[in-house]
Amino acid sequence: MTHTFDQELEDRLVRYAAIDSQSDADSPSSPSTGIQFGMLRLLEQELGEIGAKDVQVTEYGAVLATIPGTTEGPTVGLLAHVDTAPQFNATGVKPRVVKGYNGGEITFPDDPALVLSPEEYPYLAEKLGHDIVTASGTTLLGADDKAGVAIIMTAARHLLANPGIPHGPVRIAFTPDEEIGRGVDPKLPADLGADFAYTFDGGRVGEIEYETFSADGAEVRITGVSIHPGFAKGKMVNAIHLASRIVETLPQATMTPEVTDGLEGFVHATEMTGGSSEMKIKFIIRDFEREGLAAKGEMLRQVCAAVQATEPRATITCEIRPQYRNMRYWLEEDMTPVDLARDACRDLGLEPVSVPIRGGTDGSRLTEMGVPTPNLFTGMQNIHGPLEWISVQDMAKATDLCLTLLGKAATAGR
């Protein structure tokens, strides 16, 4: 297959990645950072220029657009997120393209100590001759998810320029704040108006993901009895000691992120704040199954109750809130969106791979809200850090997948 999209994809990724659009979990606003509008407004303008219809920036900071169908078929949504991860420096990204990768180590102009080696990252060794995009050493690249944006924009430009290609209606959404778990506004499913959708936010070529964690958040509050330490004998109840006891009693050797993988879930203490009179501990609870998630929440409650029993004068509360659910629960009822992607993948000579994601995607929430949304590969690797990289030719395969998929969806719908 000739990769006619390579140059366009490279140009788009380099242009988008240079724009700082990092999100911020501590900000209460929506989008969480004003700088995300830099990307949103640019995409609004570019969508208009390539001839997309109904181009709109919503008040919750999503860019929506339509590619009208050239034939009957279900309406398919294509999504990517414009924000980059808060975990690493994302200001002043200087994307750099290593043309025709020679198989050796890749070094970085702004950090001579940094090395991207094919021995350490064997997937890179497979990309001999590819054009590899990286950052310059001091920032992440932001291929997560500017690669997804570039893939969707390239596919959209191609379809709009070639109205002879048969496809059903396509709805595009570029969303903010995915990295902080706030990418899906309650209004998005209705505004998108798609029968099913795909996020382009996955890694290696062939990945088609439809299983994610189910996730709850928990907050434990411990209120002690506060009194001057000089007169505290028999009266003071120190919340710090009780909080420590709760954390100590939880299974650290078997049920934390640092000791689990594959299909195992965990209870992860993310934050502990407060003082002797009152303490607050935040947890995230993860499991692939509802039962496992409920059991882990129940265990946390029992630990709190047990510590409470040792000190009736304290008040310990444990509040558990749902965050998102494994999208498999809905997709296994109707695997059409997954099967279409798998068939399209095989048509391109690629073997589809589905591995459960130890995390959530915007698709987890969208699927739960009625728009089945599996996640497709873009090629992005080593995300959220300075060694982030992507092959332009992998992005071209994702673009081919997108176009093949839309053709198949229209045929399947007839």
Of 339, 357, 340, 350, residue with least CA distance to 398: 350
144 vs 209 by CB, closer to Zn ion: 144
Shortest Cβ 84–Zn ion spacing (Å): 9
10 tagged catalytic: no
CA distance 134 to 314: 53
State yes or no: is 83 an active-site residue: yes
Query: For Zn ion, which is the closer residue by CB, 180 or 318?
Result: 180
33 DSSP 8-state letter = -
What CA–CA distance (Å, rounded) separates 359 from 364? 9
CB of 145 to Zn ion, least distance (A): 4
Least separation, in Å, of the C-beta of 72 and Zn ion?
33
The one catalytic residue in 10, 20, 46, 178 is 178
**8 close to 157: Cβ distance less than 8 angstroms:** yes
**Which of 10, 177 has the CB closer to Zn ion?**
177
Cα dist from 316 to 231, 307, 311, 319, 353, whole Å: 24, 8, 10, 10, 45
The distance of closest approach from Cβ of residue 20 to Zn ion in the complex, given in angstroms and rounded to an integer, is 16
Active-site option among 8, 46, 83, 394:
83
139-158 residues in contact with Zn ion (CB under 5 A) are 144-145
- Strand duo 375-377 + 196-202: pairing: parallel
Nearest CB to Zn ion, comparing residues 145 and 211: 145
Structure tokens, 344: 């399209």
- Locate 223 and state its tokens: 């209120």
Identify which of residues 282 and 384 has a Cβ nearer to Zn ion in the complex.
384
CB of 80 to Zn ion, least distance (A): 8
| Residues of this chain, 369-388, that bind Zn ion according to CB under 5 A | none
Give the amino acid at 294. Answer: A
Nearer to Zn ion, 129 or 359 (CB): 359
Of 311, 298, 183, the closest CA to residue 244 belongs to 311
CA gap 288, 286 in Å, rounded = 7
Measure the CA–CA gap between 378 and 370, rounded to whole angstroms: 24
Considering the complex, what minimum distance in angstroms separates the CB of residue 83 from Zn ion? 8
* Residue count, binding to Zn ion (CB under 5 A): 3
Provide, rounded to whole angstroms, the least separation between the CB of residue 201 and Zn ion.
4
Q: In this structure, are residues 212 and 368 in contact, taking their beta carbons and an 8 Å threshold?
A: no
| Stated length of the chain | 414
Give the per-residue contact string, 191-230, with Zn ion (x = CB under 5 A; - = no): ----------x-----------------------------
Beta strand segments in 277-351, E: 278-287, 315-324
Instruction: Name every residue whose Cβ is closer than 8 Å to that of residue 403 and which is 6 or more positions away in sequence.
Output: 155, 158, 159, 165
Structure tokens at 293: 């998630």
Consecutive H or E run containing 266: strand 266-274
CB nearer to Zn ion: pick between 83 and 195: 83
CB 93 within 8 A of CB 139: yes
- Other C-beta atoms closer than 10 Å to the C-beta of 332 total 12
Catalytic site residues?
83, 178
* Interface ranges with Zn ion (CB under 5 A): 144-145, 201
